[in-house]
């Protein structure tokens, strides 16, 4: 082989190696890859944008709302006007201001109650799925008992004891919303603890606590991220239902569900009293569902 041919061969091999290095260089980390796939979902991006807007509205509510949520700002059941963009309610409070402040109530209840449900559900589901045997039977039978109790009856019973307020709604939803979470986490742990890397960790003598939290838990959290995102919207809807039944926050708290309850008897003379808080609930729940669906698709390894 001549020197020219040797040089060409080395150049070709060097070019191939540089191409491989370039491919490795552009390999994205997991978070970047998930974000790239998430951005492709237009509904998820719309939902994320709406949630960010809603959070900003909640944070800057005093700057956005033209009136106090408890202030009598106009005539009773006044229609849409330049002074009152969403009209006034049955006693003359500005509906736009109450809906803006209501975003604080709904997001606070949604995030806090979901976080409480996830903490309780993950702890119980992880212990049940990892240890199995008597622990599994005990925890799952306790879960089954709570699942057999009608939710509304349980909510009313808890509200009777702790009172009717934002904190009571968070407590009611938090201590009753973990049941589905526990089931999902238990199923994940039952499948993950049979995999080879867990057996290898046991063979290396790692403690049960380390295997549970360092090896299994991170792989079981992906479905919980999706579930938690969708659950925030479900919690907001549940809070609206409890407020509608008179179990949630009480007047004059600007809760969307309470506004819907107040407007249910005014559909003919003042439909705006019911329409605008109902639309706020519907749009918020849809936004969280869209984001949850987008995360599910982005985190699914089969879609890579």
**Domain locations in the chain as residue ranges:** 1-29, 40-303
Distance (Å) of CA 277 to CA 96, 206, 235:
9, 53, 16
What is residue 1's predicted lDDT score, i.e. its pLDDT? 45
Q: Which residues of the chain have pLDDT under 70?
A: 1-30, 300-304
Structure tokens at 163: 């009172």
What is residue 99's predicted lDDT score, i.e. its pLDDT? 92
Nearest to 248, CA basis, from 263, 235, 258: 258
What is residue 303's predicted lDDT score, i.e. its pLDDT? 52
N-term to C-term CA, the chain: 45
What is residue 8's predicted lDDT score, i.e. its pLDDT? 44
Structure tokens at 279: 């639309």
* Placement of tokens 């009293």 in the chain: 273
What is residue 48's predicted lDDT score, i.e. its pLDDT? 92
Query: 1.20.120.450, 1.10.10.10, 1.10.3720.10, 1.10.132.20: which CATH number matches 40-303?
Result: 1.10.3720.10
Cα–Cα dist 217/241, whole Å? 33
For 132, residues 6+ apart whose C-beta sits below 8 A from its C-beta are 190
């Amino acid at each position: 082989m001549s020197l020219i041919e040797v040089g060409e061969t080395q150049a070709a091999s060097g070019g191939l190696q540089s191409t491989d290095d370039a491919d490795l260089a552009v390999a994205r980390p997991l978070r970047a890859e998930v974000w790239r796939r998430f951005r492709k979902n237009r509904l998820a991006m719309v939902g994320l944008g709406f949630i960010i807007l809603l959070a900003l509205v909640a944070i800057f509510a005093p700057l956005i709302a033209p009136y106090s949520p408890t202030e009598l700002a106009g005539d009773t059941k006044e229609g849409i006007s330049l002074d009152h963009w969403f009209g006034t309610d049955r006693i003359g409070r500005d509906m736009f201001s109450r809906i803006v402040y209501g975003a604080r109530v709904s997001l606070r209840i949604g995030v806090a109650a979901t976080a409480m449900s996830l903490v309780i559900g993950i702890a119980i589901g992880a212990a049940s799925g990892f240890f199995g045997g008597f622990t599994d039977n005990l925890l799952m039978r306790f879960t089954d008992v709570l699942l057999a109790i009608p939710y509304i009856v349980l909510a009313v019973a808890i509200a009777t004891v702790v009172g009717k307020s934002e904190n009571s709604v968070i407590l009611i939803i938090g201590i009753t919303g973990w049941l589905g979470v526990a089931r999902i986490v238990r199923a994940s742990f039952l499948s993950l603890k049979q995999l080879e890397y867990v057996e290898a960790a046991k063979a290396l003598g790692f403690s049960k606590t380390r295997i549970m939290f360092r090896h299994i838990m991170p792989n079981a959290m992906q479905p919980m991220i999706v579930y938690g995102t969708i659950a925030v919207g479900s919690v907001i809807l549940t809070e609206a239902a409890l407020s509608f039944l008179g179990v949630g926050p009480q007047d004059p708290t600007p809760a969307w569900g309470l506004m819907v309850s107040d407007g249910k008897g005014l559909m003919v003379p003042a439909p705006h009293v019911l329409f605008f808080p109902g639309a706020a609930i519907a749009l918020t729940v849809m936004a969280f569902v869209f984001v949850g669906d987008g995360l599910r698709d982005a985190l699914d390894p089969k879609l890579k």
